[in-house]
Structure 1
């Protein structure tokens, strides 16, 4: 009798092969889980375990209430660190659509430490969700002290670059950009928003921007699924000039 683990990988291999050979095409809905379980003569639990393998590889995504679909080939994006603006750059042939939603809130828990402000301080959160076609691609939450916001920032937008340009004009000169990068499992909310498996690691980037007085003027929490993201940091070393007499 074959083990559940063996059956899971056999089913995943078969579906993967059908995708790679074009028998199941990108964007196509797979048969229902009950139908697939019947076709492979396994329990629904074993079938879902096989699909979880494909979810983790980024080949299949599950859309709530609709079923399992073959993903279109994923475009990779590169987060370029060390700059003074938030930059997540897709490859040259990729088109990502970014929606932005602004919400006013008060500083609490993690935000108090990130921005160095008292509890209850007024902030604005910009929730930025990028899409490639119909599929969510990356997620960012950007927090700015309310007094650094112009009054005409829209509550919703489809262009983060315009919002970022407006914020940059109002901000004081910047002195430091601190970025912390880690790999971790997604939270249940992140996995649902990005339609990824909870077993797929994400690249989590915490970015804090300060002015010359040490005040944090912006904090960002970025979540980039590990099957489509890279982080690039470039350091330029300036040669030390020799002083006269040396």
Structure 2
């Protein structure tokens, strides 16, 4: 019985994965063209692309438009800690953060998140972090214009320096609310994070308010779902009573 297309694509994916894990194909190497691989494995180009999509979904291989399929360097898992900084962490020394600043007006979702009237002035900080040459995570930070610093670095080698600039003008945070969901990536997120469209992302909406209840920052975070963990800790208050003998 001839193997099915589905089983054939997994056989091919397993063979390429094995060659990568044993070092016969090195991290950063460009794979042979799809036509060459299809010929080598005796399958159609469509079946070969299906096999590569398995590896792309696992984060083992990435396809760069116009250049080919490349073996990814092993990436650390991403850890997001609830209630903490908006930027999730890998090893801090390995992260480089680029920041694009845009002034805009509140609309729809943003007006609702920040609790401000439509057309209120806001500032968006689009933060893309990289671990080495590979995209790590994406964050869109929104603050009321009067709390927007003017000297946020365009590029930083540590996300903490960006966070520090954003914290300079805002009052101390009294409450942070977070919503976590898994969803398919948008085409923009696929291109920016260089992930497979079949790989879900972890989307975190973070809203921070001061002691008066004013929302001073809203963050929309996107993490590649295949290597992201989110941790939340709840502290329960107990009523401790001591008895006197």
1:30 aligned partner: 31
**Alpha-carbon distance between aligned partners in 1 of 2:100 and 2:41, rounded to the nearest angstrom:** 44
Conserved? CA contact 2:79–2:90, under 8 Å: yes
| Structure 1 gap segments, 5+ residues each | none
CA distance change for structure 1 residues 151 and 134 in 2, over 3 Å: closer, same or farther? closer
Return the alpha-carbon distance in structure 2 between the equivalents of residues 153 and 59 of structure 1: 34
Shift of 1:244: 10
- Contact 1:33-1:44 within 8 A present in 2 as well: yes
Query: Any residues of structure 2 matched to 1:155-174 within 5 Å, and which?
Result: 156-158=154-156, 159-174=158-173
The alpha carbon displacement at 1:91 in A equals 4.5
In structure 2, the residue matched to 1:181 is: 180
Matches for 1:86-97 after TM superposition, within 5 Å? 86-91=86-91, 95-97=94-96
Q: Distance in 1 between matches of 2:9 and 2:203?
A: 30
Following the alignment from structure 1 to structure 2, what is the Cα–Cα distance between the partners of residues 28 and 192?
Answer: 20
The 1:117–1:14 alpha-carbon spacing in structure 2 relative to 1, beyond 3 Å, is: same
Q: Is it true that 1:76 corresponds to 2:77 in the alignment?
A: yes
How far 1:243 sits from its partner (Å)?
9.8
Offset at residue 8 of structure 1 (A): 0.9
Taking the TM superposition and a 5 Å limit, the aligned residue runs for 1:1-246 are 1-83=2-84, 85-91=85-91, 95-154=94-153, 156-158=154-156, 159-242=158-241
Deviates more, 1:97-106 or 1:67-76: 97-106
* 1:241 shift after superposition: 4.7
Other structure's SS at 2:94 match: coil
- Structure 2, unmatched stretches of 5+, are none
- Say how many residue pairs are matched: 242
**SS of equivalent residue, structure 2 residue 73:** coil
Moved over 3 A (4+): 151-154, 241-245
- The offset of 1:157, in angstroms, is 2.5
Q: Deviations over 1:188-219 (max 9, x none)?
A: 11111111111111111110001122211100
TM-score by length of 1: 0.91
User: Residue deviations 1:88-122, cap 9 Å, x none?
Assistant: 22248x71211111111111222121111222211
